[in-house]
Amino acid sequence: MAIQAVIELVFRHGCVAFQPLLHHIYRSSAHGMIALVLNDISPDAIDQSLDTVVKKLPLTIPGLRYFVPLDDDLPTVIYEASLIFASTRSFRKWLVSLGVDESFVMPLHSLGARLPHRRSSFAISALQDREHALG
């Protein structure tokens, strides 16, 4: 199955802060599989955050697949992805070391404008503030 996007998420202020972002990502997964790279976030925390939106969409959508940084299968998924969003410099550098063109790796705050969805409910400015704080 083709991968629509690879998205690195980093635990910073709790998964509650990610809920609108995760809902947007999950809605977008109706258009194609999305790989989430969970950096210090447990799959259970993501699943809990998604409980309300999963109930609203059909179970037949491609959905999400979880990875951890440096997962053995991750390079293959990255090479198949149409879009890549990085939250940290270390993940961006790792992607470049795999041969991914740095201009192809987008910051997380650009996700809202680039990932297809039915409606967006998260604040881009809040993501930009978090990314700016990460450096």
DSSP H or E run through 112 = helix 111-114
Average pLDDT value for the chain = 81
Q: In the structure encoding, which two tokens stand for residue 26, read together? A: 């999950």
**Is the Cβ–Cβ distance between 20 and 124 less than 8 Å?**
no
Average pLDDT rounded to a whole number, residues 89-100: 94
Question: Which pLDDT band, with edges at 50, 70 and 90, does 122 fall under?
Answer: very low
**Predicted local confidence at residue 114, as pLDDT:** 81
Rounded distance, CA 115 to CA 55, Å?
Answer: 21
pLDDT value of position 12: 67
**Which residues lie across from 37 on neighbouring strands?**
8, 67
Contact between 38 and 44 (Cβ < 8 Å)? no
Rounded Cα gap, residues 112 and 20, in angstroms: 11
Q: Does residue 44 have a pLDDT over 70?
A: yes
| Mean pLDDT computed over 87-113 | 91
| Predicted confidence (pLDDT) at residue 81 exceeds the cutoff of 80 | yes
Q: What is the CATH number of domain 3-134?
A: 3.40.50
